[in-house]
Amino acid sequence: MRKLHKKPIIMAAATLALTGTLAVGSAMAYFTTYSTAGGGVKMNMGFTETVPKEDVDENGKHITIENTGNYDCFVRVTAFAPVKLTYNAPDGGWTDRGDGYWYYDEVLPAGETTPELNISYTFPSGDDKPEEFNIVVIQECTPVLYDEDGNPYADWNHVITDDSTQTTE
């Protein structure tokens, strides 16, 4: 009599074991399925770019800076030459802070151009006259930052030159 009672229990256990193995297969497939994606998307978060314009005449170089980027920025200019240079801003808006750079006083909005900054020089004459004479103008910009009161300020340790960001700390 005892043998008759064991047979249904064994059959039930076998049925449960088979059913369990069927569920484990789909669960394993769920946890081991993977997918790959290809391609890429170029993201443009905007940029800040300034373009100097240099007009040269007998009075020197006349510099304006245009912000062709998407964001407002601060701008500064310096120049190098083998002779002493004299700077002036006939329309105002530029300040010499004594560190070799002339700073545009205001935030330069995107799409706008600074007033003219003139750089004049006295061309050497006589025996000291060089065969070539270059005045190299360097302009830099930095993004506008805001303090906790919402006032704009410039961080000149983080300048943008030639489409690259450089830290000059």
Q: What's the pLDDT tens digit per position in 34-43? A: 677 778 877 7
pLDDT at 13 over 60: yes
- Check residue 113 and report its DSSP letter: B
Q: Measure Cα distances from 44 to 25, 41, 73 in Å.
A: 45, 10, 18
Q: Among candidates 115, 134, 124, which has minimal Cα distance to 62?
A: 115
Cβ count near 94 (within 10 Å): 22
As a CATH number, domain 50-167 is 2.60.40
- Residue entry with tokens 């008759």: 4
Are 46 and 83 a contacting pair, CB within 8 Å? no
80-118 pLDDT, tens digit per residue, is 988 889 999 999 999 999 999 999 999 999 999 999 999
pLDDT at 163 over 60: no
